[in-house]
Amino acid sequence: YEWASKGINVNAVAPCVTETPTRRKLLERPGYKEWVLGEMLPIRRWAQPEDLVGATLFLCSSMSDMLVGHVMMVDGGWTIH
């Protein structure tokens, strides 16, 4: 809030479970894949790092100038589950 008058919007991208080398062990746990893909993610696939690019570019662009203090959920529907 206090930075908005200086043109600093302080927004964030909050991804869901994203398939990266670091997360691979978690994604390979027995039953985890079925639980996440079958019950928690309506989109029915893991997020890939490139899935975050559009939201990030939008927040870095002038098209998001009116967003201040916003957390953009890029989660394949996890939060609406």
Question: 45: which 2 tokens?
Answer: 């696939």
- Specify the pLDDT at position 54: 97
User: If DSSP codes are grouped into helix, strand and coil, which group holds residue 14?
Assistant: strand
Judge whether residue 55 has pLDDT over 80.
Answer: yes
- Specify the pLDDT at position 21: 87
CATH of the domain at 10: 3.40.50.720
Q: How many domains does the chain have?
A: 1
* Dihedral sign (CA 38, 81, 72, 27): negative
Q: What is the 3-state secondary structure (H, E, C) of the chain?
A: CCCHHHCCCCCEEEECCECCCCCHHHHCCCCHHHHHHHHHCCCCCCECHHHHHHHHHHHHCHHHCCCCCCEEEECCCHHHC
Domain range for 48 is 4-80
- Specify the pLDDT at position 20: 87
The model carries a pTM of 0.77
Judge whether residue 81 has pLDDT over 80.
Answer: no
Q: What is the pLDDT of residues 2-50, one digit of tens each?
A: 888 988 899 999 998 888 888 888 878 898 888 888 888 888 888 999 9
